[in-house]
């Protein structure tokens, strides 16, 4: 309250032009963490443009107007704004098939997948490779090497299992 009364007084003194000493106005501080700015609605890529011809047709007029006559920007396809998410079911199915000795044609499957799915599979395989070679996983490697799977006769510590793992990682 004191500051606002002082500000009113100094404004009155400045307005009247009296010779009293008036301190300079207090500088405003910039915020240390300013609020994030909203994206401009006029920039392409942030908002969907409505098609004026569709609006005219829906309003009862039978005049078809091209969107190019009113906008300098070409009409935007709505599908280009959708976020692309990987198909995790397909990615993990592929990763599981990499370690299946009876499955063939891994590179062909990769070529048939969407680019985002391929990128996700490569990233997961790279992480797996890094994690398996990390010293932090030494205990898990020892445990797995001592495990003998009786279901298909594949011993995880055997040369056959390491060959499968090496082949899978060499794809990437």
Backbone angles phi, psi at 27, to 5 degrees: -70, 140
pLDDT tens digits for range 104-127: 998 899 999 999 999 999 999 999
Q: What is the pLDDT of residues 25-73, one digit of tens each?
A: 666 776 666 665 555 555 444 444 444 444 444 444 444 444 444 445 5
The mean pLDDT value of the chain amounts to 68
CB 147 within 8 A of CB 139: no
At which residue do the structure tokens 């030494």 appear? Answer: 138
């Amino acid at each position: 309250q004191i500051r606002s009364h002082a500000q009113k007084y100094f404004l009155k003194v400045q307005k009247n032009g009296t010779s009293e000493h008036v301190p300079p106005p207090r500088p405003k501080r910039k915020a240390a963490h300013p609020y994030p700015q909203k994206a401009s609605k006029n920039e392409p890529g942030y908002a969907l443009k409505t098609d004026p011809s569709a609006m005219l047709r829906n309003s009862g007029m039978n005049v078809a107007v091209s969107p190019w006559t009113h906008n300098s920007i070409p009409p935007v396809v709505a599908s280009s704004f959708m976020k692309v998410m990987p198909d995790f079911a397909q990615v993990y199915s592929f990763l599981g098939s990499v370690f299946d000795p009876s499955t063939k044609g891994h590179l062909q499957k990769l070529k048939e997948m969407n680019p985002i799915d391929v990128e996700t599979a490569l990233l997961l395989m790279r992480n797996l490779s890094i994690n398996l070679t990390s010293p932090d996983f030494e205990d898990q490697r020892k445990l797995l090497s001592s495990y003998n799977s009786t279901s298909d006769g594949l011993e995880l510590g055997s040369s056959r299992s390491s060959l499968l793992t090496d082949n899978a990682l060499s794809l990437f």
